[in-house]
Amino acid sequence: MARIVVDPVTRIEGHLRIEAKVENGKVVDAWSSSTMFRGIEIVLKDRDPRDAWLFCQRICGVCTTVHALASVRAVEDALGMTIPDNARIMRNIIAAVQYVQDHVIHFYHLHGLDWIDIVSALKADPAKTASIAQSLSDWPNSGASFFAMVQKRVKDLVDTGQLGPFANGYWGHPAYKLPPEVNLLGVAHYLEALDWQRGIVKVHALLGSKNPHLQTYLVGGIARPVDPGSQNAVNADAIALMTQAARQAIDFVSKVYIPDLLAIASYYKDWASYGSGVGNYMTYGEFPRDNRSNTDNLQLPKGIILGKDLMKIMPVDQKKIAEQVTHSWYDYKEGDEKGKHPWEGETNPKYTGPKPPYDHLDTQAKYSWLKTPRYEEMSMEVGPLARVLVAYASGHKRAKEVVDMVLGKLKVDAGALFSTLGRVAARGIETLIIAEMIPGFINELVGTIKKGDYRICQVEKWEPGTWPKEAKGYGFHDAPRGALGHWVGIKNGRIANYQAVVPSTWNLSPRDAKGTRGPVEASLIGTPVADPEKPLEILRTVHSFDPCMACAVHVTDVRGRPITVVKGA
Amino acid sequence: MATDNLLAELLDRGVSRRDFLKFCGGMAAVLGLSSSYVPKIAHALETKKKPILVWIECQSCTGDTEALLRATKPTVSELILDVLSLDYSETIMAAAGKQAEKSLADVLKNQKGKYFAAVEGSIPLAENGAYCCVAGRSSVDIVREVCGSALATFAMGTCATFGGIPKAHPNPTGAVGVRDAVPGATVINLAGCPVNAENITAAIVYYLTFGVLPAVDALGRPLFAFGKRIHDNCERRSHFDAGQYVRQWGDEGHRLGWCLYYMGCKGPEAYQNCPTVKYNERTSWPVQSGHGCIACAAPNFWDEMTPFYRRLPQPYGITVETTADKVGLVVTSATVGGILVHTIARLLRRKKKPKEEAKAQPKTEWKGPQWHG
């Protein structure tokens, strides 16, 4: 029996450590640990709630925009604000663009090298790669000379002996199954996507001033003026640029990402039987059609699926969410066994792990900076698979079409979705669905401008003097990595408490009081490991969740007792 | 045969010499150099070997790595394949676990004193560094080793330079920037939240071109990027001078691009090249889009520039315009103007001497955001 430690887990956001017990070539138990903590919610105490989104956005720079959006929604909910149409529509465009850029980066740059063997691509016949590419789609960069150039670029890199970011990869590992020609296709698109993603995020700069870390959200709306008669506002020129970017996004996703996904997945269909996880799925839904706070009128539906049962979708009730700390480096005053709702939570970070440097964590005790969120004490998977399953099961037309197309092309049934491969496929499926929504959002914006509606913020409630003395609220945003919720309490115009319960906290949480594993821990059970020295297969399942650790670690309840800062090392 | 310089590789891949010189021209512009420097930059890039870069993440949000992905001159794929040898980056590298550790160990062993380090995120000192560990080692331990034997370290973003958001009051983890975590190391502070991709590439190209690190201000920030005040280069400055201010979100002034001073813009106290270099291929920057500057390249801006929507105080007896003129004079007359102005402004505002910046300890005297005005 071997205990495998993967630390750092690379090609994710942040610092993640996986420890796994392997017997007879399979994982029999696993522990997920986050090894970094900042305490942003403690920092938020006493601040102006209108500033909170700027702080919260820095929870994560990969998931830039998502915490900003959840934060303004939470404060707006607390203060009873209703944002104007323009603000809702521009936020929808920003969120949709974030999905597309983030998922493409994940597929090629964070997850791709788990499936694509770069070194094998050197053996490819570029002409054969070209004919494969041309059979998949009419994307223009598909000639033999293009693939020969990519191959030469990789060869030159290998010849220097300086492989840079590709050094010490698991190249040649028996779990790599793609023929050299498909590997070359993947490498070519790895590089192409790296250049392509810069273009789509220009929409964020147009509406949000810059990416990463946009700077035009406002509590009550957005600070991006709308006026077709001004050169300093969203005008016909901005609409044209966004329309062009949207078209390019749909093109890239439908002609490169989806065909690559299908081509690569067809060689890895065995991964439809690994990594199923806890079987419970939750999504808060996204893309509101009206301006009510936390509206249920959403383009992608809200809901919960339990025990993989697609026949029944349960409603989401935020009151049923609680966080536990039995295995997290925090204390609860009344004992660590019982979970606490975000509005009632408390925070006392207390590190009880080994003093660094260390070789192993004591996984019987507390072993992570992540808390353990549970919905009615159940472990929930969140993210693309949860969203796609809920949309599919609730009869969302486009979701049904795209899911059935993908299942049909891979010749598998819907049961294959509950797996590592299903998670990868779901991410691609929703990228296409969401990219296709962007032109609709832009048209909606054109519609409000045509009506002469230039309102961008509910300014009547901007001044703290108009606020109630005490208020609390929550804001949901189903972010690319899954269900994100912010909870805020406001007192005398300042933040009294703040908490974020984040997608990667749901997915990568340590065990709860009953010993139930978190979704990633559960999904690793049964994962084959051909060579414990090179645990490529563990990375595949972990990466299928697209972990984001900076997001995941946070602290509840800023009312907690003052933190004793230990003197510097 | 393999090549070891940028131009040869670019020519090899069908990039024309003309395009290459255009790129060098763009770099010269970012660095604030005259066109006579273009051949020098070109020569440097033609002949220099690929430097090794190791990119360490501490208490980061990875926003600075994401910024790197937005680089255009050169693009990120050129950067990681051709210009640099990016031997360690947790976000980008293929290797994980033991193999990733080996990549770092190889550089430390074989390239001592010859490689560049980049650090993203602050470094927590409290609790023996347990607030940030990689492979069982504390980040303070790692950066001391990595930055200690690097040729130079680029602190990427305001967390790595000055402690950033983890260091904001009450600094729960005892977070500091690289200079405080590794005293004596050669550190170039590329501040910003996140750092502007253009400034990352410009700093690297600066070294490749001149063989020395760029000149910096008293806070260790390169003058080519942080030598001028946002307010002085702002496209809305004429509206400030004319007294045309945005008074409410979405009002006529806001739609027409008037000055955001009354909406809390911190441009008059911020030093960075955002107005000229902008972001995302020069598409926009905060003020152009309609939101005030938050002075994200300033030390302790999370504490000293908040609340963000409260306008900068107008000191008694001095109108906004005359303050601005005085400030402008100082800036043009001295390279350290930024620090002076900042200090003067703060003195006027608080009417008390600012405490010297705390090093490893959080600022216990700070009682929360300043609710001035």
SS3 category, B331 = helix
- The residue that leads in pLDDT, B7 or A38, is A38
Long-range pairs for A408-411: beta carbons < 8 A, 24 or more residues apart: A409/A262, A409/A266, A410/A262, A410/A265, A410/A266, A410/A269
Any idea what DSSP says for residue B259? Answer: B
Cβ neighbours of residue B248 closer than 8 Å, sequence gap 6 or more: A459, A462, B254
Q: Do B59 and A160 touch (CB under 8 A)?
A: no
Choose one of B179, B207, B225: the last residue of a domain: B225
Within a 13 Å sphere around the CA of B147, how many CA atoms are in the beta-carbon half? 30
Least Cα distance to B160 among B151, B170, B142, B149 occurs for: B142
Q: Do A456 and B170 touch (CB under 8 A)?
A: no
Residue B9's pLDDT is what? Answer: 60
Q: Do B125 and A227 touch (CB under 8 A)?
A: no
**B271 and B204 housed in the same domain:** no
- Alpha-carbon distance of A542 to A457, in angstroms, equals 41
Examine the pLDDT at A310 and tell me if it is beyond 90: yes
- Closest CA in chain B for residue A233: B255
Residue B13's pLDDT is what? Answer: 59
- Mapping DSSP onto H, E and C, the string for A428-448 reads HHHHHHHHHHHHHHHHHHHHH
- Alpha-carbon distance of A529 to A532, in angstroms, equals 6
The tokens describing B54, both together, are: 């190791």
**B77 and B215 housed in the same domain:** yes
SS3 category, B334 = coil
Q: Between the ranges A148-162, A361-375, A545-559, where is the mean pLDDT highest?
A: A361-375
From A46, A54, A210, residue closest to B369, measured CB to CB:
A46
Least Cα distance to A277 among A363, A188, A376, A378 occurs for: A378
Q: How many CB pairs under 8 A join A and B?
A: 361
For tokens 């059935």, name the residue.
Answer: A404
Residue A347's pLDDT is what? Answer: 75
| B 270-329 residues inside an 8 A Cβ radius of A | 278-281, 283-286, 288-291, 294, 302, 306-310
Residue B326's pLDDT is what? Answer: 46
Please report residues of B whose CB lies closer than 8 A to that of A15: 57, 90, 132-134
Please report residues of A whose CB lies closer than 8 A to that of B9: 156
Neighbours of A344 (CB within 10 A): 13
Q: Does the CB of A34 have a partner CB in chain B at under 8 Å?
A: no
Least Cα distance to B57 among A38, A122, A148, A258 occurs for: A38
pLDDT band at A377; cut points 50, 70, 90: very high
Q: Does the CB of B244 have a partner CB in chain A at under 8 Å?
A: no
Count, in order, helices (H) and strands (E) of chain B: 20, 9
The tokens describing A162, both together, are: 């300086």
- Alpha-carbon distance of A498 to A506, in angstroms, equals 18
Q: What is the pLDDT of residues A319-375, one digit of tens each?
A: 999 999 999 999 998 888 899 999 987 778 899 999 999 999 999 999 999 999 999
A431 CA: distance to closest CA in chain B (Å): 20
Q: Does the CB of B136 have a partner CB in chain A at under 8 Å?
A: yes
Q: Do B255 and A566 touch (CB under 8 A)?
A: no
SS3 category, B237 = helix
Confirm whether B181 is domain-assigned.
yes
**B145 and B41 housed in the same domain:** yes
The tokens describing A549, both together, are: 């650790």
- The H-assigned helical ranges of A492-559 are 503-508, 519-524, 536-544, 549-552
Neighbours of A559 (CB within 10 A): 12
- Closest CA in chain B for residue A46: B368
| B 180-199 residues inside an 8 A Cβ radius of A | 193-194
Confirm whether B360 is domain-assigned.
no
Cβ neighbours of residue B6 closer than 8 Å, sequence gap 6 or more: B45, B46, B48, B50, B74, B78, B82, B83
Q: Is A104 within 8 Å of A431 (Cβ atoms)?
A: yes
Number of domains within chain B: 2
A197 CA: distance to closest CA in chain B (Å): 8
Residue A113's pLDDT is what? Answer: 97
CATH of the domain at B144: 3.40.50.700
Q: Is A61 within 8 Å of B157 (Cβ atoms)?
A: no
A236 CA: distance to closest CA in chain B (Å): 14
Q: Do A169 and B99 touch (CB under 8 A)?
A: yes
SS3 category, B182 = coil
Q: Do A205 and B279 touch (CB under 8 A)?
A: yes
Please report residues of A whose CB lies closer than 8 A to that of B280: 198, 201-202, 204-205, 210-211
Please report residues of B whose CB lies closer than 8 A to that of A13: 61-62, 91
Burial of A514 (0-12, 13-18, 19+ CB in 10 A): exposed
Question: In degrees rounded to 5, what are phi and psi of residue A274?
Answer: -120, 155
- Mapping DSSP onto H, E and C, the string for A380-416 reads CECCHHHHHHHHHHCCCHHHHHHHHHHHHHHCCCHHH
For the residues of A548-563, what is the DSSP string, one character each?
A: BHHHH-----TTSPPP
Q: Does the CB of A148 have a partner CB in chain B at under 8 Å?
A: no
B171 CA: distance to closest CA in chain A (Å): 7
- Closest CA in chain B for residue A190: B77
- Alpha-carbon distance of A379 to A362, in angstroms, equals 22
Confirm whether B361 is domain-assigned.
no
Please report residues of B whose CB lies closer than 8 A to that of A197: 69
Cβ neighbours of residue A251 closer than 8 Å, sequence gap 6 or more: A139
> Best interface-test mutation with A: which of B6, B15, B48, B62 has the largest number of A CBs within 10 A?
B62
Strands B175-176 vs B123-124: parallel, antiparallel or unpaired: antiparallel
| B 43-82 residues inside an 8 A Cβ radius of A | 50, 52, 57-67, 69-70, 72, 75-77, 80-81
CATH of the domain at B305: 4.10.480.10
Choose one of B225, B246, B277: the last residue of a domain: B225
Q: Does the CB of A452 have a partner CB in chain B at under 8 Å?
A: no
**B98 and B191 housed in the same domain:** yes
| A 328-347 residues inside an 8 A Cβ radius of B | none
Q: What helix, strand, coil percent values describe chain B, rounded to 5?
A: 45, 10, 45
- Alpha-carbon distance of B257 to B287, in angstroms, equals 9
Confirm whether B128 is domain-assigned.
yes
Q: Do A194 and B77 touch (CB under 8 A)?
A: yes
Please report residues of A whose CB lies closer than 8 A to that of B104: none
Residues in chain B where the model's pLDDT stays below 70: 1-17, 43-49, 314-373
Least Cα distance to B178 among B170, B186, B345 occurs for: B186
Residue B7's pLDDT is what? Answer: 60
Least Cα distance to B224 among B196, B253, B262, B249 occurs for: B196
Q: What is the pLDDT of residues A425-465, one digit of tens each?
A: 999 999 999 999 999 999 999 999 999 999 999 999 999 99
Please report residues of B whose CB lies closer than 8 A to that of A157: 81
Confirm whether B290 is domain-assigned.
yes
**B18 and B51 housed in the same domain:** yes
| Residues of A with a known catalytic role | 13, 60, 63, 67, 481, 504, 548, 551
Q: Does the CB of B35 have a partner CB in chain A at under 8 Å?
A: no
- Closest CA in chain B for residue A38: B166
Residue B28's pLDDT is what? Answer: 75
Residues spanned by the domain of B234: 227-350
**B174 and B296 housed in the same domain:** no
**B128 and B156 housed in the same domain:** yes
Distance spanning both ends of chain B, measured CA to CA: 66
- Alpha-carbon distance of B294 to B301, in angstroms, equals 8
**B85 and B176 housed in the same domain:** yes
> Best interface-test mutation with A: which of B55, B59, B249 has the largest number of A CBs within 10 A?
B249
B333 CA: distance to closest CA in chain A (Å): 31
SS3 category, A27 = strand
Q: Does the CB of A492 have a partner CB in chain B at under 8 Å?
A: no
- The H-assigned helical ranges of A266-396 are 384-393
The tokens describing A328, both together, are: 């997290």
**B295 and B157 housed in the same domain:** no
Q: Does the CB of A159 have a partner CB in chain B at under 8 Å?
A: yes
- Mapping DSSP onto H, E and C, the string for A86-141 reads HHHHHHHHHHHHHHHHHHHHHHHHHHHHHCCCCHHHHHCCHHHHHHHHHHHCCCCC
Rounded to two decimals, what is the model's pTM?
A: 0.90
Confirm whether B366 is domain-assigned.
no
| A 391-450 residues inside an 8 A Cβ radius of B | none
Question: In degrees rounded to 5, what are phi and psi of residue A98?
Answer: -60, -45
The tokens describing B244, both together, are: 């045309």
**B53 and B148 housed in the same domain:** yes
Confirm whether B372 is domain-assigned.
no
Q: What is the pLDDT of residues A275-299, one digit of tens each?
A: 999 999 999 999 999 999 999 999 9
**B244 and B340 housed in the same domain:** yes
Cβ neighbours of residue A229 closer than 8 Å, sequence gap 6 or more: A235
- Mapping DSSP onto H, E and C, the string for A169-237 reads CCCCCCCCCCCHHHHHHHHHHHHHHHHHHHHHCHHHHHHHCCCCCCCCEECCEECCCECCCCCCCECHH
- The H-assigned helical ranges of chain B are 6-12, 17-30, 38-47, 63-69, 76-78, 97-110, 139-148, 157-162, 164-167, 178-181, 197-210, 223-226, 230-233, 237-241, 252-255, 274-277, 286-289, 301-304, 320-333, 337-350
**B64 and B137 housed in the same domain:** yes
Choose one of B225, B247, B262: the last residue of a domain: B225
Confirm whether B363 is domain-assigned.
no
ipTM: 0.94
Least Cα distance to A367 among A355, A353, A379 occurs for: A353
Domains in chain A, start-ordered, CATH in brackets?
A: 2-552 (1.10.645.10)
- Alpha-carbon distance of B62 to A14, in angstroms, equals 7
For tokens 């790895």, name the residue.
Answer: A190
Q: Does the CB of B89 have a partner CB in chain A at under 8 Å?
A: yes
Question: In degrees rounded to 5, what are phi and psi of residue A419?
Answer: -165, 175
